[in-house]
């Protein structure tokens, strides 16, 4: 008895091609999804610049009118300064010494001429370097405390100056940098002892401190 075999069907070439295209599309979609879910490594922060309106730079003076009398402590400021942090971690702050503001115009003028001599040395600068990777890793509202050793230039003299700072991550890539402890600038170390003495004499003081604490509160925004 003979059995008739059913004819073998062949997949049409067009159907096979469509199946191949569907498989490739699925693979591409999976690869794209994987790429979207991977977190790229954090790079260095963009260059940041100081916002002078939202920032402040202050210093403290201590004086006594008579020997044996308790000193008077006053807080002053500089109104004009600029600077920032670049992508390589270089920090720079430039202070316009003519912008000194004590609230007393004649005292401001004496500081410009007798102490700072702004005609010859109009600016003071502070430079340092920080670890940009640690700054870039800061999440929003987190803080990072840094111990820096920078170079401070005043009256044509450059000296090493330590600074203890707190960095806070703000929104939109901005940073806030504040002093955790005052930065003490010793005027004689920059050749300013004669200027301090000239101020003391013209003001009729028994004592005028030559060591000056400086505090800063800077807000930095990404440069445009």
pLDDT tens digits for range 102-145: 999 999 999 999 999 999 999 999 999 999 999 999 999 999 99
Distance of alpha carbon 163 from alpha carbon 54, whole angstroms: 21
Protein fold of 48-222 = Lipocalin (2.40.128)
| 165-203: burial string, b at 16+ Cβ within 10 Å, e else | bebbbeeeeebbbbbeebbebebebbebeebbebbbeee
Distance of alpha carbon 111 from alpha carbon 133, whole angstroms: 40
Give the pLDDT of residue 16. Answer: 54
Q: Which residues contact 49 (CB under 8 A, 6 or more apart)?
A: 82, 83, 84, 220, 221, 222, 223
Give, for all 224 residues of the chain, the pLDDT tens digit: 444 444 444 555 555 555 544 555 454 444 444 444 343 333 444 599 999 999 999 999 999 987 766 689 999 999 999 999 998 999 999 999 999 999 999 999 999 999 999 999 999 999 999 999 999 999 999 999 999 999 999 999 999 999 999 999 999 899 999 999 999 999 999 999 999 999 999 999 999 999 999 999 999 999 87
Residues in the chain: 224
| Token output for 15 | 């159907």
Nearest residue to 146 (alpha-carbon basis) of 177, 172, 123, 170: 177
């Amino acid at each position: 008895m003979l059995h008739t075999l059913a004819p073998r069907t062949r997949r049409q070439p067009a159907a096979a091609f469509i199946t191949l295209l569907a498989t490739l599309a699925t693979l591409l979609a999976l690869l794209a999804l994987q790429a979207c879910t991977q977190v790229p490594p954090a790079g260095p922060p963009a260059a940041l610049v100081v916002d002078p309106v939202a920032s402040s730079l202050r210093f403290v003076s201590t004086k006594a009118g008579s020997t044996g009398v308790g000193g008077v402590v006053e807080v002053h400021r500089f109104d004009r300064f600029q600077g920032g942090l670049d992508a390589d971690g270089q920090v720079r702050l430039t202070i316009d010494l003519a912008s000194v503001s004590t609230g007393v115009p004649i005292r401001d003028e004496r500081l410009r001429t007798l102490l700072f001599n702004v005609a010859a040395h109009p600016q003071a600068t502070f430079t340092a370097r920080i670890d940009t990777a640690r700054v870039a890793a800061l999440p929003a509202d987190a803080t990072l405390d840094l111990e820096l050793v920078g170079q401070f230039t005043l009256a044509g003299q450059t000296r090493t100056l330590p600074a203890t700072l707190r960095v806070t991550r703000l929104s939109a890539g901005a940073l806030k940098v504040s002093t955790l402890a005052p930065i003490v600038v010793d005027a004689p170390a920059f050749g300013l002892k004669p200027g301090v003495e000239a101020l003391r004499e013209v003001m009729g003081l028994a004592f005028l401190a030559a060591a000056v604490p400086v505090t800063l509160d800077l807000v930095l925004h990404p440069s445009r």
